[in-house]
Amino acid sequence: MLQQGDILMALDGNTIDSAGRINIDGEDVDLNEIVERKYAGDTVTVRYLRDGTWNDIDIVLKPLEWSRMYAIQYEKNRVISFSQG
């Protein structure tokens, strides 16, 4: 299970850069692009760094509650930060 402080390094083999972008099909795109291509029940392979150790985990995506989906849409000042690793 991912924990606070883990540094995401790759999703499904796509490296995440220090700006939170990944390269998909030769194009650098925002990290959320790979998430938008997935569905509930899909498995995502996550590579992360914790306390100097590389780890890989497969995560099965769960459906997002409708109420949460709308809450995300309206969180305008939401900031996601990434650490360079």
pLDDT on residue 47: 97
pLDDT on residue 37: 84
Lowest mean per-residue pLDDT among 12-16, 30-34, 39-43, 71-75? 71-75
pLDDT, average across residues 8-16 = 92
**CATH T-level assignment (fold) for domain 7-73:** Pdz3 Domain (2.30.42)
How confident is residue 61, by pLDDT bands cut at 50, 70 and 90?
A: confident
E strand or H helix at 70:
helix 66-73
User: Do residues 9 and 50 lie in contact, with contact meaning Cβ atoms separated by under 8 Å?
Assistant: no
pLDDT on residue 51: 96
| CA-atom Rg of the chain in angstroms | 14
